[in-house]
Structure 1
């Protein structure tokens, strides 16, 4: 039997774990189920990973890498870059929307594992890194688009990035629960309109929660 490199086995197990999580959730994911999905013996899985927590941390790490790749691939270059805040926000919303429509399972896995990471010291930094990357990428997209258009938002760009990421995140989660395409599209439009209104609104720092 040909020797299979550890890196190949690792990728095989991570892919299988993602499929099991998407189907059964983190609570229903066991090393035995992962090994069965991968077509491997339990002993082989434990040769590559010490246990379930280590496998799940590897899945979250893979999601972070995939998220970076997807956003970087969708980032417009040079003359194709969004001009102005409105263009940037619609580009961002379309990117996330197309992603969840093409692969809703991956989005479910991400939500499951983000909550898992909050309860697991071994993976906590990965959950944080995932969202910090989304925030940084969104802030950069907004800032570059505004610079190109000569726009100066009246709300800090980092705050607009936080609102965009949290709003889109919530809409996508609701879509996974309800499966209502039209409502999700309307919600994304409404979110963009709200962010644009906030970006041009007078300072309201005297009214805070």
Structure 2
């Protein structure tokens, strides 16, 4: 349910052609906007992830959630106007990098609510992700 809602929001937000350089920044701005809109939802998602990791029969749910979100990011990035099917492995790598880094930024923000720090660190992530794509 959450992933389908999120997919719809991503599809609506990123319906126009855009280079990957611009899409990286806009994707992270979109993600932050979603968190800012519903910070309690983000906290619940983090708590649920930690809970299911403690329950052996449910631990696979955490991995599925992670894969699904990374896939959403990959789909969004792969629809950039200057990305081709030949870039699929690079998109997977980039979306994983963005997701893994932003989870850390999000956890820090959930603990501190230091929005200026989140924005600074997110800007650094945008620059690093763009560099990663350019160097690849």
Shorter-chain TM-score tier: 0.7 to 0.9
Query: TM-score with structure 2 length normalisation?
Result: 0.85
Correspondence 1:3-82 to 2 at 5 A: 65-76=1-12, 80-82=15-17
RMSD of aligned Cα (Å): 2.2
Q: Report the CA distance shift for 1:110/1:150 in structure 2 as closer, same or farther (over 3 A).
A: closer
Aligned to 2:66: 131
Q: Where has structure 1 moved over 6 Å in runs of 4 or more?
A: none
- Which residue does 1:119 correspond to in 2? 54
Structure 2, unmatched stretches of 5+, are none
Instruction: Tell me how far 1:158 sits from its aligned partner.
Output: 0.7
Q: What is the alpha-carbon distance in structure 1 between the residues aligned to residue 107 and residue 83 of structure 2?
A: 34
Aligned residues: 134
Which structure is richer in relative contact order (CA contacts within 8 A, separation 6 or more)? 2
| Ranges in structure 1 where 5+ consecutive residues have no aligned partner | 1-64, 203-209
Flag the 1:166–1:68 CA change in 2: closer, same or farther, 3 A.
farther
**Structure 1 residues 122 and 81, CA, compared in 2 at 3 Å: closer, same or farther?**
farther
Which of 71, 78, 81 is the matching residue for 1:143? 78
Equivalent position of 1:177 in the other structure: 111
Task: Decide which structure has the larger Cα Rg and report it.
Answer: 1
Q: Partners in 2 of 1:179 and 1:87 — Cα distance? A: 27
